[in-house]
Amino acid sequence: MIPAIGLALGIIIGVLLQPAVPAWLQPYLPIAVIAALDAVFGGVRAILDGIFSDKVFVVSFLSNVVVAAFIVFLGDKLGVGAQLSTGVVVVLGVRIFSNVAAIRRHLFGA
């Protein structure tokens, strides 16, 4: 409940402040957001599995974000930034789908 309120609060603050993304962050933010979403869905699934650990959630959240950003950074340096970004998004998308599928099985038994 409180994390959901936090999410809503973050969205509201974002809408109100109309933040401009700094230029150095622009290539990494979209991937970081996807990675964080993956961590959030993973966390919800862990709650339903009964193995949720706040430490694991925080670490996985932050490491997902950092690793995703690092991969994009590395891809940019190697000249394959666009392709690598696409690859990361695909992988994270697959993981989000599988997590959502697990959540669905838990909640609806289907």
95 forms part of the interface with another protein (CB under 8 A)? yes
69 forms part of the interface with another protein (CB under 8 A)? no
| Both tokens assigned to 41 | 């869905």
CA distance 91 to 77: 21
Nearer to another protein, 47 or 78 (CB): 47
8 forms part of the interface with another protein (CB under 8 A)? yes
- Binding residues for another protein, rule: CB under 8 A, are 1-15, 18-21, 26, 29-30, 32-33, 36-37, 39-43, 45-54, 56-61, 63-64, 67, 82, 95, 98-99, 102, 105-109
